[in-house]
Chains A and B, each alone.
Chain A
Amino acid sequence: MDSCNCIEPQWPPDDLLMKYQYISDFFIALAYFSIPLELIYFVKKSAVFPYRWVLVQFGAFIVLCGATHLINLWTFTMHTRTVAMVMTTAKVFTAVVSCATALMLVHIIPDLLSVKTRELFLKNKAAELDREMGLIRTQEETGRHVRMLTHEIRSTLDRHTILKTTLVELGRTLALEECALWMPTRTGLELQLSYTLRQQNPVGYTVPIHLPVINQVFSSSHAVKISPNCPVARIRPAGKYMPGEVVAVRVPLLHLSNFQINDWPELSTKRYALMVLMLPSDSARQWHVHELELVEVVADQVAVALSHAAILEESMRARDLLMEQNVALDLARREAETAIRARNDFLAVMNHEMRTPMHAIIALSSLLQETELTPEQRLMVETILKSSNLLSTLINDVLDLSRLEDGSLQLDLGTFNLFAVFREVLNLIKPIASVKKLHVSLNLAPDLPEYAIGDEKHLMQTILNVVGNAVKFSKEGSISITAIVAKSELLRDSRTPEFFPVPSDNHFYLRVQVKDSGVGISPQDIPKLFTKFAQTQSMATRNSGGSGLGLAICKRFVNLMEGHIWIESDGLGKGCTAIFMVKLGIPERLNEPKLPFMPKVPTNHGPTAFPGLKVLVMDENGVSRMVTKGLLVHLGCDVTMVSSSEECLHVVSHEHKVVFMDVCVPGMDGYEVAIRINEKFTKRHERPIIVALTGNTDKVTKENCMRVGMDGVILKPVSLDKMRSVLTDLLEHRVLLEAI
Chain B
Amino acid sequence: MDLIQLQRQLVDYRTSLYHEGFLDEQFTQLQSLQDENNPDFVVEVVSLFFEDSERLLNELSKALEQQIIDFKRMDAQVHQLKGSSSSIGAHRVQKLCIVFRNYCEAHNVEGCLKCLQQVKHEYGIIKTKLESMFQLEQQILNAGGSIPV
Contact = CB atoms under 8 A, between A and B. Distances in A.
A635 to B, nearest CB: 9
Contacts of A603: 32
A630 B76 contact: no
A666 B76 contact: yes
B38 interface: yes
Given A630-B38, A719-B25, A624 B86 contact: yes
A631 B32 CA distance: 9
Interface stretch (B77-85, B116-124, B137-145): B77-85
B117 to A, nearest CB: 22
Nearest to B86: A717
B83 A621 contact: yes
Interface in B1-37: 15, 18-19, 24-26, 28-30, 32-33, 35, 37
B52 A605 contact: no
A621 B80 contact: yes
Interface stretch (B42-50, B57-65, B128-136): B42-50
A628 B50 CA distance: 17
A48 interface: no
B76 A667 contact: yes
B79 A665 contact: yes
Contact of A623 (B24, B45, B148): B45
A9 interface: no
B93 to A, nearest CB: 11
B88 interface: yes
B38 A665 contact: no
B87 A621 contact: yes
Interface in B75-112: 75-76, 79-80, 83-89
A634 B52 contact: no
A633 B48 CA distance: 18
Interface stretch (A246-254, A300-308, A359-367, A544-552): A359-367
B75 A666 contact: yes
Contacts of B85: 623
Contacts of A631: 29, 33
B19 A665 contact: no
Contacts of A367: 28
A627 B86 CA distance: 10
B18 A623 contact: no
A623 B32 CA distance: 17
B87 A364 contact: no
Contacts of B86: 624, 695, 716-717
B68 interface: no
Contacts of A320: none
Q: What is the interface of chain A mostly: helix, strand, loop, or mixed?
A: helix
A664 B86 CA distance: 13
Contacts of B38: 630, 633-634
Interface residues of A, number: 34
A371 B149 contact: yes
A634 B33 CA distance: 6
A644 B49 CA distance: 19
A622 B18 contact: no
A638 interface: no
Nearest to B50: A623
Contacts of B49: 623
B88 A627 contact: yes
B28 A621 contact: no
A623 B25 contact: no
Contacts of B15: 364
A119 to B, nearest CB: 113
A3 B148 CA distance: 212
27 contacts: A359-B24, A360-B19, A363-B24, A364-B15, A364-B18, A366-B28, A367-B28, A371-B148, A620-B80, A622-B48, A623-B45, A623-B84, A624-B83, A624-B86, A624-B87, A626-B45, A627-B29, A627-B88, A630-B38, A633-B33, A665-B79, A695-B86, A717-B26, A717-B86, A717-B87, A719-B29, A720-B32
**8 closest cross-chain pairs (CB), A and B:** A623-B84, A624-B87, A621-B83, A363-B25, A627-B87, A630-B33, A717-B26, A605-B35
Interface of A: 359-360, 362-364, 366-367, 370-371, 603, 605, 620-624, 626-628, 630-631, 633-634, 662, 664-667, 695, 716-720
Given A360-B19, A622-B48, A627-B88, 7 more contacts: A359-B25, A363-B24, A367-B28, A605-B35, A623-B84, A630-B45, A666-B76
